[in-house]
Amino acid sequence: MVKLTIDGQQVEVKEGSTILDATKKLNIWIPTLCHHPDQAVKANCRMCVVDVEGQRVLQPSCAFPVTEGMVVHTHSQKVRSARSNILELILAHHNQDCLHCPRNENCELRIIAEKMGFNKKLRFPLHIKEGMDTSSPSIVRDLSKCINCGRCEYACNEIQTVFAITKENRSFDTLYTTPFGMDLASSPCINCGQCVQACPVGALTIHDDTEKVWQAIDSDKLVVAQVAPAVRITLAEALGEEPGSISTGRLVTAMKQLGIDVVFDTDFTADLTIMEEGTELLGRINNGGVLPMITSCSPGWIKFCETYYPDHLANLSTCKSPQAMFGALLKTYYANKIGKKPQDIYSVSIMPCTAKKYEANRPELGRDGYADIDVVLTVQELAKMIKSAGINYKDLPDTQFDDPFGLGTGAGEIFGATGGVMEAALRSVYEIVTGEELKNLDFTEVRGFEGIKEATVPVGNLNVKVAVAHGLGNARKLMDAVRAKQVDYHFIEIMACPGGCIGGGGNPIKNWEKMAKRLKAVYEEDKNLPRRKSHENPAVSELYKQFLGEPNGHKSHELLHTHYFNRSDILK
C-alpha cells in the first residue's frame, strides 16, 4: 500500500494506482474526457491535470502513478487556470449547437463545463471540422463535435477488433475517421454501437428513427411492437432510475400511452429460437452436420463473421434472430389471424442493439415487396419518446403483454446476457434428449463476464462441449482457434457486445459497474418467472400445432431460417 496526501487529506491506495484512483477514494472530482473506466489509459485530453509537489509541470492524474509520501493539489490556481485553458481550446473546435444535439442531457463535455463554472466568452475563433455521415442505419457521425479523445477508436479496434475507425494526422490536424475516408455504411463497421457507448459527446450517436414511429401512430396502420428481453432491464435506467431496475409491466403501459396498439414480448420468439436452434443442433450432431454450430441471434456478430470469417458461414445456425422471427410471424401468421394485410401492420422492434437497425434492412428479411420489420428503436430512443410525451414512468401501473405473443419464459429472458442463449438451449436440449427433468436449471459455468467461457455438459450418452464469447475481440480469439482446429466444440454462443444484449449500443451509457447490476437483474427476472424452459412455453407449442407444424419443418424453414453472405470484399 502507498500513502499520499491530496488537498491536505491523507489516503492509502494500492501500489500501482494512479492519482485519479486515489482522488476517487476521497470523493474528489477530477474532470476527465479521454479517460474511460473500461479502457486503457490514453492521457490525450489533459483535462485531469493536477499539481504534484516536486514536479516541474502539471501531470495527468489518469496516468501518473502514486508514490509514497506524494503531495498533490487538485484545485490550485495553477491547476484551475490550466484546465480552463484546455477546456477553452476544446470548445473552440467543438460545434456548440447543443440544443439540437442528441447527447445534450448527458454530454460529458457540457457537464464538465458546467461543473467548472465555465461561462466566459471564448478567446479563440471557432474552428470546427466539417462532415456529417448518416449513411449507416445504426450510427450517425458528426465530425464537428469530435474532441479527439480516442475512446471510439479504442472501443472499435482494441475491444471489438472491427477496425472501422482509424486515427489520421497529428496535432491540430488529428482526425478520427473511417479507413480511406469511406462512409460508415461502406466500411467494415458491424453496427454494434460500442463507439457510441464510448463517445463522451455527440460525435457518434444513434440513428434516430422516433419520428417514423410517431408518424405511424398518427396513421391508419395497426402499430405492433415487440420488446426484447434486455429492454425491461435497461429502460428504467435510461429514464433516470437505478441500473438493474426491472420495469416489465410499466414499459408496456408507457408504450400503450404513446399510442402503440399492440405490444408483444420478444421473449416469445427467444423461446421459439431455442426450439428451432436446439433441434438444428441435435440434427447436426446426429447426422454428421457442420460443427461447431454457432448461434445467430446477434446481427453484429453475423456481419462480423460474414466479413472476417466467411469460411465459417456454414457453422452459423440458419435460425433467424428472435427479432427477425417475430417480424416474419407478425406479417404472416398474426396478420392472417386478425384479418389484416401485411402492409396494414406497422412492425416496430424495441431493442437494446443498434445492429438490429441494420438487420431489419437486410433484404432477405421480408417477402412480396415488404419488410418484416418496419423500424427498430433502441432503448435510448424509446426513452426519448416517453419523456417527450410527458409520461411519468416511475409511477406507471403494470400492464401485461398482449396475446398471443405475450408469454415468455425465463429461458427467453436470459437471452439478454452473455451465456443466456447457451443456457436456455441446454435447459431444453437436455430434457428433450434424455426425457428427464433437470434438477438444476442454472448452468452457472456459462454465466458471468469472463471473455471466453467453456463447459462440458453431459446430455444422455453425449458430453456436449460448448463455448461462450462476448465482445468481438473475444470472438476473434475463439474463431481463430476454431479456424486453426485447436479446439473441438459442438456449440458456440457469440454475442457482439461486451456483456451481451445488456451491453448493447442502444442502451443507456454503460460501464462494467452498471453492467453487473443489469446482469443480476436478468437472472432475478428469470427466477421469478413461472416457467423457465423454452419447450414448456404453451404459446410456442400452440403456434407449432396451429401453424408451423414442427421445429425445423418446412414451414419453419420458410419463415424462421435464413442465409448469409460473404462480405470479405470490403477488406480488400
Q: Give me the catalytic one of 237, 359, 413, 525.
A: 359
356 is catalytic: yes
How far apart are the C-alpha atoms of 39 and 50, rounded to whole Å?
Answer: 21
Taking Cα atoms as reference points, which of 215, 194, 216 lies closest to residue 206? 194
Q: Provide the b/e sequence for 462-488 (b: ≥16 CB within 10 Å).
A: eebbbbbbbbbbbbbebbeebeeeebe
Please indicate whether residue 241 is annotated as part of the active site.
no
Query: Which contiguous run of DSSP H or E holds residue 11?
Result: strand 9-13
Q: Judge whether 280 counts as a catalytic residue.
A: yes
Residue 520 bears catalytic tag = no
- 410/10 Cα distance (integer angstroms): 49
Say which residues have a Cβ less than 8 Å from residue 99's Cβ, sequence separation at least 6.
none
Known catalytic membership, residue 68:
no
Candidates 101, 107, 146, 297; catalytic one: 297
Which one from 114, 158, 364, 524 is the annotated catalytic residue? 364
Task: Supply 198's cell numbers.
Answer: 464510448
Active site residue 317: yes
Catalytic residue of the set 129, 331, 356, 510: 356
Q: Which of 280, 381, 413, 423 is catalytic?
A: 280
Task: Show contacts of 218-223: CB within 8 Å, 24+ apart.
Answer: 218/259, 219/346, 220/344, 221/344, 221/345, 221/346, 222/261, 222/262, 222/338, 222/340, 222/344, 222/345, 222/346, 223/259, 223/260, 223/261, 223/262, 223/346, 223/348
Check 501, 514, 533, 556 and give the catalytic one.
501
What is the Cα–Cα distance from 416 to 422, expressed in whole angstroms?
11
- Among candidate residues 108, 237, 276, 277, the one labeled active-site is 277
Residue partners of 162: CB distance under 8 A and separation at least 6: 156, 188, 189, 190, 192, 304, 472
List, edge to edge, every strand of the sheet that includes 462-470. Answer: 293-294, 491-495, 462-470, 452-459
Query: What's the rounded Cα separation, in Å, for the pair 44 and 418?
Result: 32
CB atoms within 10 A of CB 222: 18
Catalytic machinery residues: 277, 280, 297, 317, 356, 359, 364, 501
